[in-house]
């Protein structure tokens, strides 16, 4: 199974060989784990990587229900699906984005941004639809108070826990991809910045048992980011598409406002009214004043920082557009003046040519 066209062969275990064949190497490791399911001696270890752990069965009105909580064994599951994500990343790059790039003939810098937006668009689309499905099936839209009621939300349904594990796997996979994709050094700090923010917020929601609020916030964030990267993809295809960026700008600000409102409503108001406000690691209760303030500060700081970057970019862009307009007006005025002078000089030569000719003749 080859994900990349081999234009040149490299020595085994060299850096270029690892970069060129990383998807095939990871695919072989995944196949090895799947083969382990076929044998009784290795099946238990293989299941540790493939299936979410820490499940318990409880009785409900609908019958027996299997719920999950988190533990250190989740690291193995995240590692396995991190490898799956690397393979899917290579498939999307090879069979979708590279084919489009050959038709567009983009520059090297635009090609890098196009690949980044293309990969993120696929992820944001799948994750937003998945999170919307979970939010709808869990009834968070019809009953917003369920976001903070009955806290701590230790026991999760399968699709909720699996969603969080795959989110962690995706954002952790972006770290080795910086090496595999040969990202430029000046681009690495920017990408590490937003990857670290995603990992910090997802881990906080997962470990502090704030999965319900985190699910809604991730849906809003992914929807907003998908709008931006779709706008950028359409801009690379046709540079006349600017209206989508204007629509995204409105959605970006609204997303920040809704996120802050929801966090103050759920954490600052809902959890603050809860009777159980004692730190208890055994039951998974982190509803204390200090932790609530820390969570609110983290989210508010991130949203404020995003808004500050957004408004600073918009102001700098407006300033650049004004300078361009002034430069265009000056160039147009200079061109008009040159045309006027040329026309006047031509008229003067025509009016004074015959007398000078007669004078010179005599």
Please check the confidence at residue 333 and state whether its pLDDT lies above 80: no
Q: How far apart are CA 237 and CA 101, in angstroms?
A: 10
Please check the confidence at residue 348 and state whether its pLDDT lies above 70: no
Q: How far apart are CA 251 and CA 153, in angstroms?
A: 30
Q: How far apart are CA 225 and CA 117, in angstroms?
A: 10
Q: Which residue has the tokens 């599951």?
A: 77
User: Which residue, 77, 305, 57, 303, is CA-closest to 206?
Assistant: 77
H-helix or E-strand containing 65? Answer: strand 63-68
Which stretch of 97-106, 126-135, 237-246, 344-353 has the lowest confidence by average pLDDT? 344-353
Please check the confidence at residue 349 and state whether its pLDDT lies above 80: no
For residue 216, whether the previous peptide bond is cis, meaning omega lies within 30 degrees of 0, is: no
pLDDT digit string, tens, across residues 309-328: 999 988 887 887 777 777 77
User: Which residue, 156, 185, 191, is CA-closest to 171?
Assistant: 191
pLDDT of residue 168: 97
| 3-state SS assignment for residue 285 | strand
Annotate 107-125 with DSSP letters as a single string. -HHHHHHHHHHHHHHHHHH
For residue 309, whether the previous peptide bond is cis, meaning omega lies within 30 degrees of 0, is: no
Domains in the chain: boundaries: 51-322
Using the 8-state DSSP alphabet, how is residue 143 labeled? -
Average pLDDT estimate for 23-49: 92
In Å, how far are 116, 249, 310 from 314, measured between CA atoms? 22, 9, 6
pLDDT of residue 319: 83
| 3-state SS assignment for residue 67 | strand
DSSP β-bridge partners for residue 67: 56
Q: How far apart are CA 18 and CA 180, in angstroms?
A: 8
């Amino acid at each position: 199974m080859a994900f990349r066209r081999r234009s040149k062969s490299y020595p085994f275990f060299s850096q270029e060989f690892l970069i060129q064949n990383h998807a095939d190497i990871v695919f072989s490791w995944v196949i090895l784990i799947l083969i382990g399911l076929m044998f009784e001696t290795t099946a238990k270890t293989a299941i540790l990587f493939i299936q979410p752990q820490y499940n318990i069965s409880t009785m409900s009105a609908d019958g027996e229900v299997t719920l999950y909580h988190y533990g250190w064994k989740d690291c193995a599951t995240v590692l396995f699906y991190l490898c799956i994500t690397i393979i899917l990343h290579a498939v999307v790059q090879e069979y979708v984005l590279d084919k489009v790039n050959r038709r567009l003939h983009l520059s090297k810098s635009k090609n890098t941004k196009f690949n980044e937006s293309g990969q993120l668009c696929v992820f944001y689309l799948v994750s937003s639809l998945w999170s919307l499905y979970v939010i709808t099936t869990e009834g968070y839209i019809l009953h917003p108070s369920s976001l903070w009621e009955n806290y701590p939300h230790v026991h999760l349904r399968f699709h909720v826990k699996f969603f969080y594990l795959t989110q962690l796997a995706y954002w952790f996979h972006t770290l080795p991809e910086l090496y595999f994709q040969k990202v430029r050094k000046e681009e690495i700090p920017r990408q590490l910045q937003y990857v670290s923010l995603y990992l910090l917020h997802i881990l906080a929601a997962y470990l502090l048992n704030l999965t319900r609020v985190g699910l809604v916030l991730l849906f809003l964030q992914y929807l907003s980011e998908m709008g931006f990267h779709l706008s950028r993809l359409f801009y690379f295809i046709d540079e006349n598409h600017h209206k989508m960026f204007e629509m995204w700008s409105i959605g970006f600000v609204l997303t920040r406002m809704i996120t802050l409102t929801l966090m103050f409503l759920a954490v600052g108001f809902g959890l603050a009214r809860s009777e159980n406000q004692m730190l208890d690691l055994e039951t998974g209760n982190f509803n204390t004043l200090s932790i609530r303030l820390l969570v609110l500060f983290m989210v508010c700081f991130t949203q404020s920082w995003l808004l500050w970057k957004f408004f600073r970019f918009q102001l700098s862009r407006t300033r650049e557009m004004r300078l361009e307009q002034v430069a265009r007006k000056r160039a147009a005025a200079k061109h008009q003046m040159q045309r006027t002078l040329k026309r006047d000089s031509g008229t003067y030569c025509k009016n004074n040519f015959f007398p000078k000719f007669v004078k010179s003749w005599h």
